[in-house]
């Protein structure tokens, strides 16, 4: 009997080690560039009717990974995003892989999946532009969220709705982003901007201005994740932005700025950063100027984006680069008219 127990234990240990070895590398998942081909099967009618509730639904996901192996596992999904959950045909989703039914994908934990608001070319182009905004952020800030583009086919598990396919992208889990940068997420409530690392925060301010994004806030950590050093908890925290569909560089038809800001359209830039010296600003501007060619090439070489949208994105960025390289505009926008509260 004792020998049988040892044999069973050894077999279970071997199976556990095999499953562990086969788990998806959560970093490589995002570093690999080719778009994933993904199929998600769920009760589509229930997803549509209960998307405002944000309840977890059973779903099956299948995809071919970087090692060419096919994985098909049962996961849980839920609708997310206050505005897009109400407005969009297919809402952004949270894919929960932390289930006994998804052993290989479990290492991904839970991932946000951003999808096109409606099933048409225009919505897909907006989705692709938002994806590029994240890629631009990666070029100017190492402490930023990684993304992975995917071509997703949605299938109705009840067989009542026709399948359809559209592009989407996965957003790196906040814990994974923190681990890459040797940090932890701040969970002690809102922060005062005086508490944050000046250089990192200046970079965030200027990036938000670059993309024409006003849909963020420090007082309630709106569309920002506050991070701090993992080993030394006394290090100065910093903010990592996300959720860029309301920015002028994307220019979604549903995006409108807050009336209190005094601008009427998202393509009107407004600097919402706090005062910095000319030297502090120039240090950050130097990063943007150094990366300019890579940023432009990122857009120009992205085959999935049509010529019209490429032209509009580059023209929008041209205005930004013109601004940061003229001293009188820098003085007016980033110093004299910076916010003080």
Beta bridge partners of 227: 185, 238
Confidence at residue 18, expressed as pLDDT on a 0 to 100 scale:
41
CATH number at residue 251: 1.10.1070
Beta bridge partners of 58: 76
On the question of pLDDT at 298 being above 90, the answer is yes
- 284 and 313 part of one domain: yes
Quote the domain boundaries for residue 30. Answer: 25-174
Q: Of 106, 141, 174, which residue constitutes the final position of a domain? A: 174
CA separation, residue 69 to residues 40, 47, 61, 63, 78 (Å): 17, 29, 14, 8, 26
- 147 and 57 part of one domain: yes
- Measured in whole angstroms, the distance separating CA 89 from the mean position of its chain's CA atoms is 20
For every residue of 33-92, DSSP letters joined together read -SPEEEEEEE-HHHHHHTTTTT--EEEEEEEE-TTS-EEEEEEEEEE--HHHHHH-SS--
Confidence at residue 305, expressed as pLDDT on a 0 to 100 scale:
98
Residue 114 lies in a domain: yes
Q: Of 174, 196, 229, which residue constitutes the final position of a domain? A: 174
Confidence at residue 164, expressed as pLDDT on a 0 to 100 scale:
93
pTM of the model as a whole? 0.91
Better-scored residue on pLDDT, 186 or 247:
247
End-to-end CA distance of the chain: 73
Confidence at residue 20, expressed as pLDDT on a 0 to 100 scale:
43
CA separation, residue 248 to residues 7, 126, 161, 240 (Å): 63, 11, 35, 19
Confidence at residue 160, expressed as pLDDT on a 0 to 100 scale:
84
- 191 and 131 part of one domain: no
- 114 and 192 part of one domain: no
Q: Of 174, 198, 214, which residue constitutes the final position of a domain? A: 174
pLDDT tens, position by position, 138-152:
999 999 999 999 999
- 70 and 132 part of one domain: yes
Confidence at residue 53, expressed as pLDDT on a 0 to 100 scale:
73
pLDDT tens, position by position, 57-113:
999 999 998 777 899 999 999 988 777 777 788 888 999 999 999 999 999 999 999
Better-scored residue on pLDDT, 87 or 284:
284
- 37 and 162 part of one domain: yes
pLDDT tens, position by position, 184-195:
998 887 788 888
Domain count of the fold of the chain: 2
The mean pLDDT value for 274-278 works out to 93
Distance CA 68, CA 236 (A): 42
- 169 and 271 part of one domain: no
């Amino acid at each position: 009997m004792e020998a049988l127990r040892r044999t069973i234990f050894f077999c279970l240990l071997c199976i556990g080690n095999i499953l562990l070895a086969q788990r998806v590398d959560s970093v490589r998942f995002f570093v690999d560039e080719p778009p994933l081909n993904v199929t998600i099967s769920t009760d589509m009618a229930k997803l549509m009717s209960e998307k405002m509730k944000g309840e977890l639904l059973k779903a099956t996901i299948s995809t071919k990974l970087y090692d060419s192996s096919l994985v098909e596992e049962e996961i849980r999904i839920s609708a997310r995003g206050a505005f897009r959950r109400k407005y969009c045909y297919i809402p952004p989703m949270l894919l929960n892989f932390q289930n006994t039914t998804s052993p290989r994908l479990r290492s991904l934990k839970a991932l946000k999946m951003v999808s096109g608001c409606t099933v048409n070319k225009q919505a897909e182009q907006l989705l692709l532009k938002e994806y590029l905004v994240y890629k631009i952020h990666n070029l100017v800030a190492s402490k930023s969220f990684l993304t992975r583009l995917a071509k997703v086919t949605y299938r109705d598990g009840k067989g009542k709705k026709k399948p359809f396919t559209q592009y989407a992208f996965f957003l790196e889990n906040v814990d994974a982003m923190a681990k890459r940068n040797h940090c932890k997420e701040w969970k002690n409530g809102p922060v005062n901007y005086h508490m944050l690392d000046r250089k990192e925060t200046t970079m965030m301010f200027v990036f938000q201005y670059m993309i024409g994004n006003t849909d963020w806030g420090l007082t309630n950590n709106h569309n920002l994740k506050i991070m701090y050093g993992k080993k030394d908890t006394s290090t100065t925290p910093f903010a990592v932005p996300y959720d860029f569909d309301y920015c002028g560089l994307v220019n979604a038809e549903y995006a409108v700025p807050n009336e209190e800001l005094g601008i009427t359209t998202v393509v009107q830039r407004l600097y919402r950063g706090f005062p910095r010296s000319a030297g502090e600003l120039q240090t950050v501007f130097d990063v943007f100027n150094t990366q300019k060619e890579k940023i432009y090439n990122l857009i120009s070489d992205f085959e999935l984006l049509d010529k019209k949208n490429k032209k509009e994105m580059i023209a929008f960025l041209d205005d930004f680069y013109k601004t940061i390289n003229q001293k009188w505009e820098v003085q007016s926008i980033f110093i004299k008219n910076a916010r003080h509260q």
